[in-house]
């Protein structure tokens, strides 16, 4: 067979051919190489600017001595640590290569052609990607309108009304990326109460540690009451382990059993397992990261006053900024000033930029660059 006779797309699943790959934030070294600049800052990917704690670094160095060995495919010690800290049984846990991995596992486990999944208009871009790859239908529910206290956020009543007999998954990000909007616990609980038993509710809490502890605890308490609830979390954000890719899902043992049947062997590597366990134990570092985020958000909110921009309220480690016009040129100008932020036109928000909270110095560099390009 000649190379001209073979057409991979012609024989591949149509649901895969129609996918648009996820595009990550531009790396710092790529920006500096392209524009011939130095000392750039990246505030595009909602990373913890503190990085990992000293305890995590030590755990990584110890584990690096055993790179010739396969990981513990069950993640026994991390599951035990999560179980003790969060009050869930080990058999309720599914470990993933980031929580993104768990979201995809859920789609693979519950979606097929002829079924559907529901999510909000401006929800995390991985939801439609995961749904489409299975051949299922995405039901995209319009977000809360302008003027609503949570404009751009999830309209839970509309999402509930959109559920059909063939719906198998509903994705709710709380707080939501890229908007930073959130759902109050009472409203979320009422939604879960009303959700039909043939639908699995996926509560994506990647940024939950930046919020109030009391609100965080409540979702885990609901696991016993709602066997169709899955809560996903990650070590990529407040724990500072984005490079290692480790997350987890919490659910009924029945759902976890299904997910673990299709989970890839050794999907979380040994270094990530050790680092996550060390990070989980370092409560002081978590508090430091939370305090830095709170101070950084206040710094940005104050520094943006007087500029032609509207701030969307956020409970994450980022702010969504509305400039009231297309921001493609503004994003380009910021990169030339050595500041990487995240344009979100792919979410249907061409007038917005998402800005991660950085260190005091990084935030200052952003504010200086933003002031310069808006006034030029």
| 215 vs 284 pLDDT, higher one | 284
Helices 253-262 and 99-110, interaxial angle, to 10°?
A: 100
pLDDT of 327 strictly over 90: yes
The pLDDT of residue 215: 59
Q: Can you give the pLDDT at residue 28?
A: 77
Query: CB of 88 within 8 A of CB of 220?
Result: yes
What pLDDT, on the 0 to 100 scale, is given for residue 37?
A: 82
Is the confidence at residue 354, as pLDDT, over 60? yes
Same fold, 24-51+284-375 and 54-281: no
Distance separating alpha carbons of residues 51 and 359, to the nearest angstrom: 11
Q: What percent of the chain has pLDDT over 90?
A: 85
**Chain centre distance of CA 27:** 18
Q: Per mean pLDDT, which range of 28-42, 84-98, 163-177, 341-355 is the poorest?
A: 28-42
pLDDT of 260-310, one tens digit each? 999 999 999 999 999 999 999 999 999 999 999 999 999 999 999 989 999
Angle at 318 between CA 34 and CA 79, to 5 degrees: 105
CATH fold group of domain 24-51+284-375: 3.90.1150
Nearest C-alpha neighbor of 319 from the set 367, 371, 275, 276: 367
Nearest to 314 by CA among 297, 299, 302, 335: 297
For residue 296, the model assigns a pLDDT of 97
Q: Where are the domains of the chain?
A: 24-51+284-375, 54-281
Over the stretch 86-111, which tens digit does the pLDDT of each residue have? 999 999 999 999 999 999 999 999 99
pLDDT of residue 229: 98
Helices (H), 195-314: 213-225, 253-262, 270-281, 283-303
Segment 179-213, tens digit of pLDDT: 999 999 999 999 999 999 999 999 999 999 997 65
Q: Reduced to 3 states, what is the DSSP secondary structure of residue 34? A: helix
- Looking at every residue in the chain, the average pLDDT score rounds to 93
Separation between Cα atoms, residue 89 and residue 111, nearest integer Å: 26
Res. 18: pLDDT tops 80: no
pLDDT at 134: 95
Tell me: pLDDT of 32 over 80: no
Site of tokens 């059909």: 164
Distance of alpha carbon 347 from alpha carbon 287, whole angstroms: 32
Contacts of 256 (CB under 8 A, 6+ apart): 91, 92, 93, 94, 249
Furthest C-alpha separation in the chain: 66
Give residue for tokens 């104050």: 302
Nearest-angstrom CA–CA distance, 256 and 106:
10
For 18, 115, 128, 135, the CA distances from 5, given in Å and listed in that order, are 22, 35, 33, 27
CA distances from 239 to 47, 214, 277, 280 (A): 9, 19, 11, 8
Banded model confidence at residue 22, pLDDT cuts 50, 70, 90: low
Q: Is the dihedral of CA 147, 152, 157, 162 positive or negative?
A: positive
> Roughly what angle, to the nearest 10 degrees, separates helices 283-303 and 360-375?
20
Distance CA 119, CA 112 (A): 17
The percent of the chain in helix, strand and coil, each rounded to the nearest 5, is 45, 15, 40
The predicted pLDDT at position 135 comes to 94
Q: What is the structure's pLDDT at 269?
A: 96
Query: Which class does domain 54-281 fall in?
Result: alpha beta
Please tell me what DSSP assigns to residue 306. T
Does residue 78 surpass a pLDDT of 70?
Answer: yes
CA–CA separation, 144 vs 152, rounded Å?
A: 5
Banded pLDDT at 33 (limits 50, 70, 90): confident
List, for residues 122-168, the tens digit of each pLDDT value. Answer: 999 999 999 999 999 999 999 999 889 899 999 999 999 999 999 99
Average pLDDT over residues 67-76: 94
Confidence of residue 376 (pLDDT cuts 50, 70, 90): confident
The pLDDT of residue 5 is: 79
Query: Which residues are CB-neighbours of 370 under 8 A, at least 6 positions away?
Result: 304, 307, 334, 339
Q: What is the DSSP letter of 277?
A: H
In this model, does residue 41 exceed pLDDT 80? yes
């Amino acid at each position: 067979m000649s190379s001209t006779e073979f057409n991979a797309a012609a024989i591949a699943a149509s649901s895969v051919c129609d996918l648009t790959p996820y595009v990550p934030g531009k790396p710092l070294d790529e920006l500096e190489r392209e524009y011939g600049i130095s000392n750039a800052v990246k505030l595009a990917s909602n990373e913890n600017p503190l990085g990992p704690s000293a305890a995590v670094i030590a755990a990584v160095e110890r584990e690096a001595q055993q790179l010739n060995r396969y990981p513990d495919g069950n993640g026994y010690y991390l599951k035990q640590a999560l179980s003790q800290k969060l009050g869930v049984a080990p058999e309720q846990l599914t470990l993933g290569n980031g929580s993104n991995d768990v979201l995809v596992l859920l789609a693979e486990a519950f979606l097929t052609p002829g079924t559907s999944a529901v999510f909000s208009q401006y929800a995390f871009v991985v939801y439609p990607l995961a749904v489409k790859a299975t051949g299922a239908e995405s039901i995209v529910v319009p977000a809360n309108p302008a003027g609503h206290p949570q404009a751009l956020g999830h309209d839970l009543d509309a999402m509930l009304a959109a559920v059909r007999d063939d719906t198998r998954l509903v994705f709710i990000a709380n707080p939501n990326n890229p908007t930073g909007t959130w759902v109050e616990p009472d409203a979320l609980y009422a939604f879960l109460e009303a959700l039909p038993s043939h639908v699995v509710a996926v509560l994506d809490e990647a940024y939950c540690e930046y919020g109030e502890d009391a609100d965080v605890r409540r979702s885990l308490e609901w696991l016993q009451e709602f066997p169709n609830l899955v809560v996903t979390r990650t070590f990529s954000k407040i724990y500072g382990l984005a490079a290692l890719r480790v997350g987890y899902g919490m659910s009924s043992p029945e759902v976890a059993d299904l997910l673990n049947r299709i989970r890839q062997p050794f999907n979380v590597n040994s270094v990530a397992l050790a680092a996550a366990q060390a990070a989980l134990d370092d409560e002081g570092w978590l508090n430091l990261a939370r305090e830095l985020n709170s101070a950084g958000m206040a710094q940005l909110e104050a520094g943006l006053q007087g500029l032609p921009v509207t701030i969307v309220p956020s409970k994450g480690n980022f702010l969504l900024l509305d400039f009231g016009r297309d921001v493609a040129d503004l994003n380009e100008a910021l990169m030339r000033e050595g500041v990487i932020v995240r344009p979100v036109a792919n979410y249907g928000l061409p007038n917005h930029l998402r800005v991660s909270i950085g260190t005091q110095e990084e935030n200052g560099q952003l504010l200086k660059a933003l002031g310069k390009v808006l006034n030029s």
